[in-house]
Structure 1
Amino acid sequence: MAATAPRGGVAPNTRRVMNLAHFLRKNARRLPDAAGLVQGGRVWSWGELDARVDAMAAALAGRGVVKGDRVLVQSRNGHQLFESMFVCFRLGAVWVPTNYRQTPAEVAYLAKASGARALICGSVFPEHAAAIRAECPDLDVVVEIGGASFGEDYDGLVAAHDGQAAPVADVEHDDPCWFFFTSGTTGRPKAAVLTHGQMGFVITNHLCDLMPGTTEADASLVVAPLSHGAGIHQLAQVAAGATTVLTAGERLDPEEAWSLVAQWRVANMFTVPTIVKILTEHPAVERHDRSSLRHVIYAGAPMYREDQKRALRALGPVLVQYFGLGEVTGNITVLPPRLHAAEDGPGVKVGTCGFERTGMQVDIQDPEGRSLPPGQTGEICVCGPAVFAGYYDNPKANAEAFRNGWFRTGDLGHLDGQGFLFITGRASDMYISGGSNVYPRETEEKLLKHPAIAEAAILGVPDPTWGEVGVAVCTLRPGETVEEPALIAWLSAEVARYKLPKRVFFWDELPKSGYGKITKRAIREGLEQRGALPLDGKR
């Protein structure tokens, strides 16, 4: 039966899109000998990386991995993790990277939740491999990076299939390419489904809004796990032909990071506010040439104003902030370098995370889904091509996350009259004390103005008199001291009484996620373990 011609005689759109692995192939053709990836003094050219990806794709295809299969990857940053992304894309399989710092049980849950068919795992994680196999009896392909004690050796497979190539999968816009697991700060992680078509837009948007002018003459430094936001950033570098530079150590070393910036003339890096703080407050920042930096991009959490000022004084006008979640692949707002200011003053929008990214729309909504006018606080909702396809195999979560076509971020904030977004905090962070809504971020900002305070986090806890009260947990700057009563007295001049924390605790460090974000759930658990909660009824 002949297909009916569409109105206007236009051929039906099959929605076929470029397979994302083509970015690597394009570089191998145009820049075969140029540095594609660097780590620990070793350089891989674009031509070498493309050939290795072809070989591993052929190896997995020979073991039955096909389009749509999920491939779980448990690995620290390294060339094999970098390659595995493009191996999966080339096959039309789904890349499922983990946060390598997670426990074996946590990673086994990700394997089961994603329906993983194959595993690529570092040799230093035998317990993870065993837990995954126990949880996923149907997983029948195991590849080991750096050994062959529990799986086939990764580099051995690449060598055995050198010169071979599996057919590049044809993909359409909505074909999944990446299961991006949420951080799970409010429950078990969920697999956000990212697609080839969506990610094609995201990469273009990153290069347009975050790093304009990025080319093959540039280099990008990676100081965060490639499994999440840094991986999206790195994919944009590959699209531009820019060199990706990985740090060699397992932990962030500011001396190494700034040395690499100078050595490779690094133009951009992706990080989070806590890492920007560490890098710019370390003496190494003054010991190395950083004049090549054009874009130091931070995301994942709002940056406290005092930390922002220090970073701008150290680096100059190179900071780029973006706001977004994994479900929107970071594409909600941007605050470019020209709108960052090292000092407060007329025309400086303190506390904003910027304006809408190209192609994206933000709406502030009340609990019933009605749009709120500028200046009113509500839930930040977003629509546009960067929004993910939904959570894998989780209809309940999808029903809660979408309303009238808008993705509900769970973050609270407001727009000003010019469309700049100001984040108040997570809806789950807000607490009600004596009938008044308290948004901890405002008081946290004030605490960081105190010269002795390095980090601060406030959470609401039950109180028999006021319903809820705030509890602050802080770290001190080296050589500084301050007592709890003195700090609360100082803070009382900065915020209203109902916003004051009832107690302040001082810890050596605040717990952070594998991506460098302060984790309030872990702080609450730590307070309980130390016997600090529950509080008594006094205020």
Structure 2
Amino acid sequence: MTEPIGGLNPVSTRVMNLATFLTQAARRDPDGVALVMGDARWSWREFEARADALAHALQTRFGLQKGDRVMCQSQNCMEMMQAMFAVWRAGGVWVPANFRQTPEEVAYLTQSSGAALMFCNAGFPDHAAACGVTTLVFGQADFGPSVQDITEAHLGQRPEVAVVDRDDPCWFFFTSGTTGRPKASVLTHGQMAFVVTNHLADLMPGLTGDDASLVVAPLSHGAGVHQLTQVARGVKTVLLPSERFDVAQVWDLVREWRVSTMFTVPTILKLLVEHPATAGADTSSLRYVIYAGAPMYRVDQQKALDTLGKVLVQYYGLGECTGAITVLPAHLHETGEGPNVRIGTCGHARTGIEIQIQDDQGRELPPGQTGEICVIGPAVFAGYYQNPQANAKSFRNGWFRTGDLGHMDEAGFVYITGRESDMFISGGSNVYPREIEEKILTHPAISEVAVLGIPDPLWGEVGWAVCVAHAPVSEAELTEYLGPRVSRYKLPKRFLFWDALPKSAYGKITKKMIREELEARGLLEKAPA
């Protein structure tokens, strides 16, 4: 309850349980298709009944109480979405892991979140064993009862839907752990209800039950938030039939189901655009191809626009803000040049969100000056679970500090320079790798690149560019090409050519993984622990 205002009685902070989105969709269109995976189909009525049955079992058979955390280790499947809504309905907190993590990593997430119950796909017995908690299985396995069997046994039974307040946790959204151990960002029912509304307003306006959404990224993170938004509008969700990413199959599903929305990341979008199957694909149903998770380089953005048309929507945000910081809507994506084209922006502030560029003292910087991107608004999380040190570091005067560097123009459009941890200092000058990467990618032979700051006895740090080339090119050629395009102190000292850049389970190129690969190849001394 909040404090009295002006002598009035305290007002309620009760909000809708997020699982109610599923109930509302099932009421509006009970026989409509809700979930598709391969040959399997669930109607909204079936989806609702299965979520109810599982929630009832969680409460009556497994003793789930409000606030209990429930781990999930699984690749995308229909039962994963069923479990998510069942956990919320029963009052639990959804704690999904990246399914590509090791058993030891998932055990750490289980322990640090305090989860005593786990959903686990049948293909991950070692993860279940490492976690050592009560486990319910998607599929059939000998390390726990089957969710399908549990559901069938409880069909027709309704749970006691948990009463929730605005600040009651619903989801522990783990950071990707690019530095140190992953941290659990606490997302709440009230916050997530705002994010769903904000997604519908800023990213996908006008969605209806006639739309269809194809899932090409793990439901454990941004794609899961995206699919919650689809459920809120009764949009059918189409899952890939297996975890194997097949571009031709993606386009077949887009055509078959008249897919109108997709959530992806730049590396996956790049794969979709550049695949030979795309040339003959029917993409006419697409309305919103949403990309986030990392900035998209200008040359890749232009190619995607030329291939798919003006359907791209970019958003920028961290898990701590549930993605809701900026948006660059479809009508502001441009392929050409000109005075009104803002090249390199990630968009303007999302509805209800305020952004400031701040110096290291927390003072707002004027347009054009680089500083830390800071944000306030209802999309900002409730803090890191049981981590007061991280909370103290991440908040200042009420502002959430993203750790990203950037600047803002006079019209309020934000330009990301890079992570604060990516910036390096060479000869006393700040160097922002993204600026150099953008220039390197304009060379016709380069398809991917990452620039890192490497210790140097003379300059302090110098840049190394790790490149993926699809045509012959030499280090000398790239040096000559970049000469007139970047200042001399920004020019990489070395260019390395690899067959591929290591990527995270979410398809992101991370500097931490590249640095580790440099160490593994004996090109860089291992940093002290």
Normalised by the length of structure 1, the TM-score is: 0.96
| Equivalent AA in structure 2 for residue 67 of structure 1 | K
Partner of 1:125: 124
Q: How far apart in 2 are the matches of 1:322 and 1:335?
A: 6
Distance 2:71 2:6 in 1: 45
Q: Which amino acid aligns with 1:84?
A: A
1:391 equivalent to 2:384? Answer: yes
Check whether the contact 2:2–2:10 (CA below 8 A) recurs between aligned residues. Answer: no
Q: What aligned pairs does 1:103-502 form with structure 2 within 5 A after superposition?
A: 103-133=102-132, 139=133, 141-477=134-470, 480-502=471-493
**Bigger mean CA offset, 167-176 vs 56-65:** 56-65
Distance in 2 of aligned mates of 1:9 and 1:288:
63
Say whether the 8 Å CA contact 2:365–2:371 is kept in structure 1. yes
Moved more, 29-38 or 423-432: 29-38
Give per-residue Cα distances to partners, 1:249-307, cap 9 Å, x unaligned: 21221111111111111111100111111001112222221111111100011100000
CA distance in 2 between counterparts of 1:246 and 1:156 reads: 22
Distance in 1, matches of 2:39 and 2:485, equals 50
CA 108–4 in structure 1, closer or farther in 2 if over 3 Å, else same: closer
SS at match of 2:241: coil
Structure-1 separation of matches of 2:92 and 2:120: 17
What CA distance in whole angstroms lies between the structure 2 residues aligned with 1:431 and 1:98? Answer: 32
Q: Distance in 2 between matches of 1:488 and 1:189?
A: 37
Q: Which residue matches 1:47? A: 45
CA distance in 2 between partners of 1:4 and 1:100 (Å): 39
Deviation at 1:8, TM superposition (A): 6.0
| Cα distance in 1, alignment partners of residues 2 and 257 from structure 2 | 57
Q: Deviations over 1:22-47 (max 9, x none)?
A: 01011111111101111113211110
Paired residue for 1:20?
Answer: 18
Alpha-carbon distance in 1 for matches of 2:272, 2:242: 15
Contact kept? 1:334, 1:353, Cα under 8 Å: yes
Q: Distance in 1 between matches of 2:41 and 2:267?
A: 29
Counterpart secondary structure, 1:353: coil
Determine the structure 2 residue equivalent to 1:136: none
C-alpha displacement at 1:346, in angstroms?
2.5
Partners of 1:4 and 1:80 lie apart in 2 by 38
1:10 CA drift (Å): 4.4
The aligned residue for residue 531 of structure 1 is 522
Contact (CA 8 Å) 2:358, 2:373: kept in 1 or not? yes
CA shift digits 1:152-192 (9 cap, x unpaired): 11111111111112110000000000000000001110000
* Deviation larger for 218-227 or 248-257: 248-257
CA distance in 1, matches of 2:175, 2:418: 18
Given residue 175 of structure 1, which amino acid in structure 2 is its aligned partner?
A: D
Distance 2:141 2:302 in 1: 49
1:345 Cα shift? 2.1
After superposition, the Cα gap between the structure-2 partners of 1:470 and 1:51, relative to the gap in structure 1 and judged at 3 Å, is same
What letter is aligned with 2:179?
T
Q: Kindly state the Cα deviation for residue 13 of structure 1 after the two structures are TM-superposed.
A: 1.4
Residue in 1 that maps onto 2:507: 516
The alpha-carbon deviation at position 128 of structure 1 amounts to: 0.5
Is the CA contact 1:462–1:468 (under 8 Å) kept in the aligned structure 2?
yes
Q: Which amino acid aligns with 2:473?
A: V
Range with greater deviation from structure 2 (286-295 or 319-328): 286-295
Greater shift after overlay, 14-23 or 482-491? 482-491
TM-score relative to the length of structure 2: 0.97
Cα pair 2:185 2:381 within 8 Å, conserved: yes
Question: Deviation at 1:83?
Answer: 0.9
Report SS of the residue matched to 1:73: strand
Q: Are the aligned partners of 1:463 and 1:469 in contact in 2 as well (CA < 8 Å)? A: yes
Distance in 1 between residues matched to 2:152 and 2:2, nearest whole Å: 51
Distance 2:51 2:338 in 1: 52
1:66 aligns with 2:59: no
Once the two structures are TM-superposed, the CA of residue 417 in structure 1 deviates from its matched residue by: 0.5
Aligned partners of 1:425 and 1:440 also within 8 Å: yes
Alpha-carbon distance between aligned partners in 2 of 1:415 and 1:281, rounded to the nearest angstrom:
32
Equivalent-residue separation in structure 2 for 1:280 and 1:292 (angstroms): 16
How do 1:71-110 and structure 2 match up within 5 A? 71-110=70-109
By how many angstroms is 1:392 displaced?
A: 0.4
Return closer, same or farther for 1:500/1:173 CA change in 2, 3 Å cut-off. Answer: same
Q: Write the distance in 2 (CA, Å) between the matches of 1:473 and 1:41.
A: 43
Corresponding residue SS for 2:380: coil
Distance in 2, matches of 1:160 and 1:482, equals: 63
Work out which of the residue numbers 505, 520, 524 in structure 1 matches 2:496.
505
- What secondary structure sits across from 2:493 in the alignment? strand
Distance in 1 separating the partners of 2:465 and 2:11: 55
Structure 1, 484-493 or 450-459: larger mean CA deviation: 484-493
Determine if contact 1:72/1:118 at 8 Å carries over to the other structure.
yes
Q: Deviations over 1:60-91 (max 9, x none)?
A: 11211111000000001000111111011101
Superposed displacement of residue 469, structure 1:
0.4
Measure how far apart 1:7 and its partner are: 5.5
Change over 3 Å in CA distance of 1:343–1:241 after alignment to 2: same
Write the distance in 1 (CA, Å) between the matches of 2:241 and 2:341: 39
**SS of corresponding position for 1:327:** helix
Give the SS at the match of 1:393. Answer: coil
Which blocks of at least 5 consecutive residues in structure 1 are unaligned? 134-138
SS of equivalent to 1:352: coil
Cα separation, 2, equivalents of 1:189 and 1:7: 39
Contact 2:139/2:147 (CA < 8 Å) preserved in 1? yes
Q: Which secondary structure state, in structure 2, belongs to the residue aligned with residue 375 of structure 1? A: coil
Root-mean-square deviation (Å): 1.4
Q: Distance in 2 between matches of 1:344 and 1:273?
A: 21
Q: d(CA) in 2 for partners of 1:432 and 1:208?
A: 40
Q: Structure 2 regions of 5+ residues with no counterpart? A: none
User: Amino acid of the residue matched to residue 110 of structure 1?
Assistant: L
Residue deviations 1:201-239 (CA, integer Å, cap 9, x gap): 000000000000011110011100000000001100000
Contact conserved, 1:462 with 1:534, CA < 8 A, in 2?
A: no
